[in-house]
Chains A and B, each alone.
Chain A
Amino acid sequence: MSIHCKDKVVLITGAAKGIGAAACHALAAAGAKLAVSDIDQDAGRELCEALRAEGADAEFFPLDVCDEQQWQHCMETVVASFGQLDGVVNNAGIAVICGPEDESLEGWRRTQTINSDAVFLGSRAAIQTMKARGGSIVNVSSIEGIVGDPMLPAYNASKGAVRALTKSLALYCADRDYGIRVNSLHPGYVETPLVSGALAKLSEDDANAFATRVVASIPMGRMARAEEIAQGIVFLLSDAASYMTGSELVMDGGYTAR
């Protein structure tokens, strides 16, 4: 009776840590079968073992989301293993805190490649693979794809691209009656290795200032837990969201409402 993903086969990128890992646990609890993928093979395999210990049907697929060839191979092996694919979560991403004057073109491009180009590659592969039976694509953008942050120009641009790309893909799939829904997810700040890692690259004073500024601007007064964001992914993949496409699911403790 409840919202669930029973027997749906879902591929998640960047699944080894943070939001991706939490999504795997939540999806397993909701009945999904998991194609766990990440560039970090050790962490990905370890997660798969933990999921299997919970009774989940989970398999690991090594995947660097920036590599076009790897996408094709990954889709083929996932479908060969599970016999079908019902959902793809384009979650892998990076964040580098760096103001526009200090950002290098190389750094800018790296952020766009992982956060934006790879979402195109993943979405294209997902549409090609799922168009016969339909499915659901969840593209993990961010509140930083909706509003700006002075220290995140490259990240802002990459996540804004995901938001607009998602709407185009949603309309394309609807026009062609593929039965594929495409939505973007916009988490606020989440306590994950992505945030702690980005802060670790700053001086202690700068890191504290950044963190203090961020938490002070969240009406709920705290960052999210990855488990909370994971439930939005479950909802968008489930049939409970079957009339949702081209939409933005904002999960931000009120950050963009202010």
Chain B
Amino acid sequence: MKENNPFSLQGKVAVVTGAAAGIGKACAQRMAYSGASVLLSDIDVAACQRLAAELNEQGFDARAIQQDVVLEEDWQALVAELKQWHNRWDILVNNAGIYIGGRLEDNSVEQLTRIHEVNVQSVFLGLRYAAETMQPSGCFGRGGSVINLSSIAGLIGVPGHSIYGATKGSVRSISKHSAVEFARFGYGIRVNSLHPGLIDTAMAEQVYDDFVDVGLTQSREEASAVLEQQMIPMGRLGTAEDIANAALFLASDASAYISGAELTVDGGFTAA
């Protein structure tokens, strides 16, 4: 491999939210292995500290921070931490998110508000602090790449996914608007949305439970069989690493001309 590898993140500083588990954890690892200094944020700071220590032992640069992505003051604290750490910020993966399922008539306004806070307000705040600090006149000033975790649920309809899908549609849309705005104003900040299909994390387990709860299938086993055999052309769930590789591509200079795009990684789910 040549030294000027366009997929390398050498020297760059990345923030991954929801880095304690699942897709976020895999993104943090992949980015650290690719040379980035990675700030791991999650409400579960203990898990992030363990992961940071593990990465440090392997010779990679990582640090943990406790952050509730819903809270503006936690984003301010994150920016302060970045200033003090390497005084640099290049990459943001807005990954933290929750799933709330159920038939639409059983969902409450409280659920709707909560899922929008965690899945949309978080992305808005992340974009806002990235825009302010990464643009040429900002304190970091080098431009950057923001990757927002949407979902195929932000593209298509799935029973039990109405309020979750609404948040992921919002993420898709705010990604496009901010991408166009940041490009037009010369911020040098690229924004893209990443649309995983069903990925084998704790969230997939919740989706199986929800298939049973809403009455789509009798059992979790049946839910898994229906999803894998009937809904996913490749016949299997994706792995968190599959998504992390796509996030790495979008974070790296290899995607320098990609902004406002949707990258779907779903084993063919939405092609059918």
Contact = CB atoms under 8 A, between A and B. Distances in A.
Interface of A: 1-4, 26, 29-31, 167, 170-171, 174-175, 177, 188, 219-221, 224-225, 228-229, 231-232, 234-235, 240-254, 256-258
Interface in B242-272: 242-243, 245-246, 248-249, 254-268, 270-272
Contacts of B259: 219-220, 253-254, 257
B7 interface: yes
B1 A245 contact: no
Contact of A188 (B257, B267, B271): B257
Interface of B: 1-2, 5-8, 33-34, 176, 179-180, 183-184, 186, 197, 233-235, 238-239, 242-243, 245-246, 248-249, 254-268, 270-272
A230 B252 CA distance: 14
A2 B235 contact: no
A244 B246 contact: yes
B261 A250 contact: yes
Contact of B233 (A245, A252, A254, A258): A245
Contacts of A174: 233-235, 267-268
Given A171-B233, A171-B268, A247-B271, A256 B248 contact: no
Minimum-distance CB pairs A-B, first 4 = A246-B271, A257-B260, A219-B183, A240-B245
A250 B254 contact: no
Nearest to B186: A221
A133 to B, nearest CB: 17
B267 to A, nearest CB: 5
Contacts of B264: 244, 247-248
Contacts of A188: 257
19 contacts: A3-B254, A4-B1, A4-B7, A26-B6, A171-B233, A174-B267, A219-B180, A232-B255, A243-B197, A243-B238, A243-B239, A243-B243, A245-B233, A246-B268, A247-B266, A254-B179, A254-B180, A257-B260, A258-B180
B193 to A, nearest CB: 10
A3 B33 CA distance: 11
Nearest to B195: A247
Given A2-B34, A241-B246, A247 B179 contact: no
Given A4-B1, A220-B257, A228-B257, A175 B233 contact: yes
A141 to B, nearest CB: 14
B178 to A, nearest CB: 10
Given A219-B259, A240-B246, A234 B254 contact: yes
B130 to A, nearest CB: 17
Contacts of A248: 264
Contacts of B246: 240-241, 244
A1 B2 CA distance: 13
A252 B34 contact: no
B248 A240 contact: yes
Nearest to B269: A246
B271 A170 contact: yes
Contact of B260 (A30, A177, A258): A258
Contacts of B235: 174, 177
Given A170-B271, A247-B264, A219 B184 contact: yes
A16 B179 CA distance: 33
Nearest to B238: A243
Contact of A247 (B2, B184, B186, B265): B265
A135 B231 CA distance: 22
Contacts of A247: 263-266, 271
A250 B258 contact: yes
Given A174-B233, A228-B256, A1 B180 contact: no
B268 A249 contact: no
Given A29-B2, A248-B264, A167 B34 contact: no
Contacts of A241: 245-246, 265
Contacts of A244: 242, 246, 264-266
A246 B260 contact: no
A171 B233 CA distance: 6
Contacts of B257: 188, 220, 224-225, 228-229, 251-253
